[in-house]
């Protein structure tokens, strides 16, 4: 039988979690690290795709690179909401 402790008398219900208005230093540093990880993963996948001889594997690596680039953009938008639709100049399709 399913037991739901929230329906018990005297049990407090929690409000849905809301993101804070301001990011803490720790949150900001974590997002900064995550940005670095995503950018590095995108670059590595792109470079591996350039070295790959098999077209199917090359295509999957490019998809992987694109996925990490999307993750990078989402994280960046959390840090810079006013520039939501602009591309970051540090990241370019040529993966310099």
Residue-range domain boundaries for the chain: 23-81
pLDDT tier, 16 (very low <50, low <70, confident <90, very high otherwise): low
Q: Is 11 left (phi over 0), alpha (psi -120 to 50) or beta?
A: beta
CA 71 to chain centre: 3
- Shortest CA distance to 45 belongs to which of 60, 31, 34? 60
pLDDT in tens, 32-74: 899 999 999 999 999 999 999 999 999 999 999 999 999 999 8
pLDDT tier, 83 (very low <50, low <70, confident <90, very high otherwise): very low
């Amino acid at each position: 039988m399913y037991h739901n402790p929230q329906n018990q008398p005297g049990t407090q219900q929690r409000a849905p979690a809301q993101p804070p208005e301001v990011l803490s230093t720790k949150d900001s540093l974590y997002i900064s690290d995550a940005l670095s990880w995503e950018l590095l993963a995108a670059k590595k996948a792109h470079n591996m795709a350039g070295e790959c001889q098999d077209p199917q594997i090359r295509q999957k690596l490019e998809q992987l690179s694109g996925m990490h680039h999307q993750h990078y953009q989402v994280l960046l938008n959390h840090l810079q909401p006013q520039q939501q639709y602009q591309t970051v100049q540090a990241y370019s399709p040529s993966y310099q």
